[in-house]
Amino acid sequence: MLTVFSDNHRLHHGCELKDGAVTPSFENPQRADTVLARVRSAGLGDVIGAQAFDRACYVAAHSERYVAFLENAWAEWTATGKTHDALPLVWPVRDLAIDREPGFIDGKLGFYAMDAGAPITAGTWQAVRSSADVALTAMQRVIDGAPSAFALCRPPGHHAAREYMGGYCYLNNAAIAAERCLSQGAERVAVLDVDFHHGNGTQNIFYDRPDVFFASIHGDPHVSYPYFSGFEHERGAGAGEGFTLNYPLARGTVWTGYRQALSDALGRIVAYKPDFLVVSLGVDTFEGDPISHFKLTSDDFLRLGADIAGAGIATLFVMEGGYMVDEIGINAVNTLQGFEGGR
Ligand SMILES: [Zn+2]
């Protein structure tokens, strides 16, 4: 399987607000480098760089003003004299005004963020843009006829919605790839999100549409980030009613329980008859992950890949989360090799 990768991911490593303290983010450059090393040592296949895509490809999944905010945020932040990472400090919740963009960077950061887990640093936009280009380059290979490809994206993307960042995510790489399929003639695309955390951003982008089917298997939001989305009753709206599926699972879920949800999701995806499948591949479902609560083993990821292959759909894998750095490469590449073995 072909892997697409960009060195530019190393331009981004910021802080996050965690447990009441601002600390270096769990989402660090070592993650992607470890996965790349495993891709190479396991002999998964060729590794190529990302092609540069037009900005319009990002705006397909996001609003114009949000993309402009990401492009300009660091310059606006440093214009106030600050040189450390930018984090939001106020959010427009409930009855506060959500209909007007503030004119000052402090306000914009809150307006365009769901949490304090997506810092803006000097290199963030370049890394984010390259990450989206990684997804687009790999997606194009699949559109052009490859049975599968791996977009080794960093930063990840599935928490990024049409108009806000959060949870280490800025541009939604999986959604941008899905939009690429549609712009290239596909009629239907399915996105399967197997990251431990609900793919709230992807759900938000496609919630009222029937042309992208979204299924997510994740930790129960009653007790797991992002807390405010991913419940079973969220099934899409309007023309998109029934095209979103959520499988919140209990803390401590092991492979047998996980596989029941996976099997149901894959059955629904096959029935949808998509032209392409995009998998948001987070491996933070691993038993050793420091911020998650499922109990999948490294061997279970081989089974995960094989089950996805059983759907028989041309598939793009997009790297999302996974924070047990020692094992992230093994678990991600196990999924991909399981897929190849299951075809
Ligand atoms: Zn995650």
Per the structure block, which two tokens stand in for 177? 């790839």
Instruction: Report the alpha-carbon angle 120-124-127, nearest 5.
Output: 160
Indicate which residue of 9, 62, 158, 159 is catalytic: 159
Q: What is the pTM of this model?
A: 0.99
- Average pLDDT over every residue of 179-206: 98
H and E: helices and strands count for the chain? 10, 10
> Quick one: average pLDDT of 26-37?
97
Tell me the pLDDT of the chain averaged across its residues: 97
Q: How large a percentage of the chain has pLDDT more than 70? A: 100
Query: 270-279, pLDDT tens digit by residue?
Result: 999 999 999 9
pLDDT-derived band at 59, boundaries 50, 70, 90? very high
Q: Is the pLDDT of residue 103 over 90?
A: yes
**Interval between CA 322 and ligand 1 midpoint (Å):** 6
What spacing in Å lies between the alpha carbon of 70 and ligand 1's midpoint? 22
| 207-255 pLDDT, tens digit each | 999 999 999 999 999 999 999 999 999 999 999 999 999 999 999 999 9
What is the widest separation between alpha-carbon atoms in the chain?
A: 55
Distance 154 CA to ligand 1 centre (A): 13
Q: Tens of pLDDT along 294-317?
A: 999 999 999 999 999 999 999 999
Query: What is the whole-number distance in angstroms between the Cα of residue 282 and the centre of ligand 1?
Result: 6
- The Cα 58–Cα 179 span in angstroms is 9
Integer Cα distance of 81 and 104 in angstroms = 14
Instruction: Tell me how far the alpha carbon of residue 26 lies from the centroid of ligand 1, in angstroms.
Output: 11
Residue with tokens 């699949």: 142
Q: What's the fold here for domain 2-62+130-342?
A: Arginase; Chain A (3.40.800)
Q: How far is CA 132 from CA 3, 48, 51, 101, 289, in A?
A: 14, 15, 10, 25, 25
d(CA 124, CA 130): 10
* E-state strands within 272-340: 276-281, 315-319
Residues 137-181: tens digit of each pLDDT: 999 999 999 999 999 999 999 999 999 999 999 999 999 999 999
DSSP 296: B
Question: Is 159 marked active-site?
Answer: yes
Cα-flanking dihedrals φ and ψ of residue 247, to 5°?
-120, 80
The pLDDT of residue 36 is above 90:
yes
End-to-end CA distance of the chain: 12
Confidence of residue 324 (pLDDT cuts 50, 70, 90): confident
Between the CA of 193 and the centroid of ligand 1 the distance, in Å, is 10
At residue 22, the pLDDT reads 95
* CA–centroid distance, residue 321 to ligand 1 (Å): 4
pLDDT of 322 > 90? The answer is yes
pLDDT at 217: 98
Decide if 180 contacts 139 (C-beta within 8 A): yes
CA of 103 from ligand 1 middle (Å) equals 32
Which residue has 């919605």 as its token pair? 161
Name the region of 322 (left: φ>0; alpha: ψ -120 to 50; beta: rest).
left
96, 138 Cβ separation under 8 angstroms: no
Domain ranges of the chain: 2-62+130-342
Give residue 325's pLDDT band: very low, low, confident or very high (50, 70, 90).
Answer: confident
> How many angstroms separate the alpha carbon of residue 82 from the centre of ligand 1?
30
pLDDT at 185: 98
Q: What's the CA gap between 14 and 6, in Å, rounded?
A: 18
CA 72 to chain centre: 22
pLDDT of residue 271: 98
